[in-house]
């Protein structure tokens, strides 16, 4: 089993619980978190004992969306454009980048074992996409779904 920094991986009773584990950042999605999630899914896919996956978030949010903070060097993270289409970028490149971003989510949608999203607290932007791409989404009474990026012309839907 791989070692993870930004997710928790708990195998139990024929399933696995994957917890997004960046509570100090409301489980904002970083490159590391995405990489670790896919490593965990690789593990699940090859383990015949695991029949289902539950994905949840630690702390008061499922996920606040893509991490828009700055790196240790002070540079802005380049995970997602904060406001609409970048200046000078051809529309075809923008659409291709959205497809690439959705490919990460499509893996959940097309996963051969059932994935259950257990949503408690905030599920914003890409965090709400995670919930949408699970096979079954269970929301607590405290769950809040939001896609604020729509106001800025950002892509928010997908086609399978």
Q: What is the pLDDT of residues 74-132, one digit of tens each?
A: 554 444 444 455 567 777 776 666 555 556 677 888 899 999 999 999 999 889 988 88
Single out the residue of 106, 115, 155 nearest to residue 135, CA to CA: 115
Question: 6-15, 31-40, 83-92: which has the minimum mean pLDDT?
Answer: 83-92
Average pLDDT along the chain: 83
The pLDDT value recorded for residue 93 is 74
Structure confidence at residue 150 as a pLDDT band (50, 70, 90): low
What are residue 17's DSSP bridge partners?
10, 54
pLDDT range class, residue 160, cuts 50, 70, 90: very low
Q: What is the pLDDT of residue 153?
A: 58
Instruction: Say whether pLDDT at 152 is over 70.
Output: no
Query: Which domains does the chain possess?
Result: 7-70+78-152 (3.90.226.10)
**What's the pTM?**
0.78
Task: Give mean pLDDT, residues 40-65.
Answer: 97
Lookup: tokens for 25: 């950042």
Q: What is the pLDDT of residue 95?
A: 63
């Amino acid at each position: 089993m791989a070692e993870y920094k930004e997710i928790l991986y708990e195998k139990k009773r024929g399933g696995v619980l994957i917890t997004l584990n960046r509570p100090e950042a409301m489980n904002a999605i970083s490159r590391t978190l995405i990489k670790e999630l896919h490593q965990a899914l690789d593990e699940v896919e090859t383990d015949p004992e695991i029949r289902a996956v539950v994905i949840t978030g630690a702390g008061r949010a499922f996920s606040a969306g893509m991490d828009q903070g700055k790196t240790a060097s002070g540079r802005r993270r380049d995970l997602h454009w904060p406001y609409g289409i970048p200046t000078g970028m051809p529309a075809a490149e923008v659409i291709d980048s959205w497809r690439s971003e959705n490919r990460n989510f499509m893996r959940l949608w097309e996963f051969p074992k059932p994935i259950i999203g257990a949503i408690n607290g905030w599920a914003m932007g890409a965090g709400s996409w995670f919930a949408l791409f699970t096979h079954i989404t269970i929301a607590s009474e405290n769950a809040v779904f939001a896609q604020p990026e729509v106001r800025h012309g950002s892509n928010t839907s997908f086609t399978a």
